[in-house]
Amino acid sequence: MSLTLEELSSILKATLHGDPATLIEGVATLGNAAPGRLSFFSNRRYRTYLKETRASAVILAEGDREECPVATLVMDNPYLGYAQAATLLNPEPVAAPGIHASASVHAGAHVDSSAHIGANTVISAGARIGANCYIGPGSVILEDTTVDEQCWLSANVTLCREVHIGKRVRLHPGVVIGADGFGIANDGEAWVKVPQLGSVIIGDDVEIGANTSVDRGALEDTVLEQGVKLDNLVQVGHNVHIGAHTAVAGCVAIAGSAHIGKRCTIGGAAAIGGHLEIADDVHLTATSSVPNSISKAGVYSSGVPIQENKVWRRNVIRMLHLEDMAKRIKALERKLK
């Protein structure tokens, strides 16, 4: 796919400085771009690459235009413009409709005739696959689960029984939706399983990364609202509710019944406790640990960065005796009064 700068500036609603007829055939980083490529500049730390770029054009903000030696597409949000241009220039291959000979599709399943059902997939009784879906090799869709139109399941994805996937949902390999939540009651000696009777509802335009798992609800449903984005190896416990357009980075653990607001961003390796509420527009930096509700939008953090091991060894001992330090300060203050 190729586009002229004129076409791109019109689609992106960007102001073009340069030859409108220049043909763009793809995207590249500032440092690696050859002529015919489009790049973008949004991180000041790559300024030296901007000055020397051989790209045919660069998407950037007005304030950075001076430093660019080639044609520019000026936008307030160059990274967004790049995302849109890269999508246009790299259309995804469209898989042919039909069911691969090696797929096991139950007679009681419904598969839209426009859907692609890959090799060695399993579609169980009562499952429904919508129009233009791509169900990649090795994926398993269990009983009575519904997948709405235009979904893309990469490969080896597992959808457990009776879960509901919205439109244009993208699921990467190893994703598990609807496994039982961790519900156990103690009878004084052993754990007794609490049946997990709820479902999972995945909204439109959700994307979920490799090996992430989203558990089914215990009694009510686990819900990911529209536009939620989960990275890889994220754990979403039963009855969790994640508001629209919240983005969760890799290796985050979200305990059961947490209710996370809309438009939040959760940094990598954060841990969110159960039965708590996080307001809309909360931003948690990486490794944040959240044991209680957050009622106010804002940026929150926890975690202690590394030090040289021998320095850390001395500091960490003090961390374990802070209560004592505090008391000694108080005693000193009393003496000096």
d(CA 28, CA 95): 26
Q: Which two tokens stand for residue 46?
A: 């790559």
Establish if 52 lies at the interface with its own copies (CB under 8 A).
no
Is 238 assigned a catalytic role? yes
Establish if 165 lies at the interface with its own copies (CB under 8 A).
no
Q: State the number of binding residues for its own copies (CB under 8 A).
A: 126
Nearer to its own copies, 223 or 255 (CB): 255
Establish if 82 lies at the interface with its own copies (CB under 8 A).
yes
Do the beta carbons of residue 207 and residue 230 sit within 8 Å? yes
- C-alpha distances in angstroms, 90 versus 3, 38, 49, 110, 239? 11, 12, 24, 32, 38
Which one from 164, 172, 238, 241 is the annotated catalytic residue? 238
Q: Which stretch in 1-9, 60-68, 109-117, 296-304 sits in contact with its own copies by CB under 8 A? A: 296-304
Minimum Å distance from CB 40 to its own copies? 10
d(CA 205, CA 165): 10
Do the beta carbons of residue 272 and residue 266 sit within 8 Å? yes
Among 130, 136, 166, 203, binds its own copies (CB under 8 A): 136
Nearer to its own copies, 114 or 287 (CB): 287
Q: Which stretch in 10-18, 48-56, 107-115, 224-232 sits in contact with its own copies by CB under 8 A? A: 224-232
Establish if 18 lies at the interface with its own copies (CB under 8 A).
no
What's the residue count for the chain? 337
Burial of 255 (0-12, 13-18, 19+ CB in 10 A): buried
Q: Which residues inside 61-80 make contact with its own copies, applying CB under 8 A?
A: 77, 79-80
Q: Which two tokens stand for residue 147?
A: 């997948």
List the catalytic residues.
238
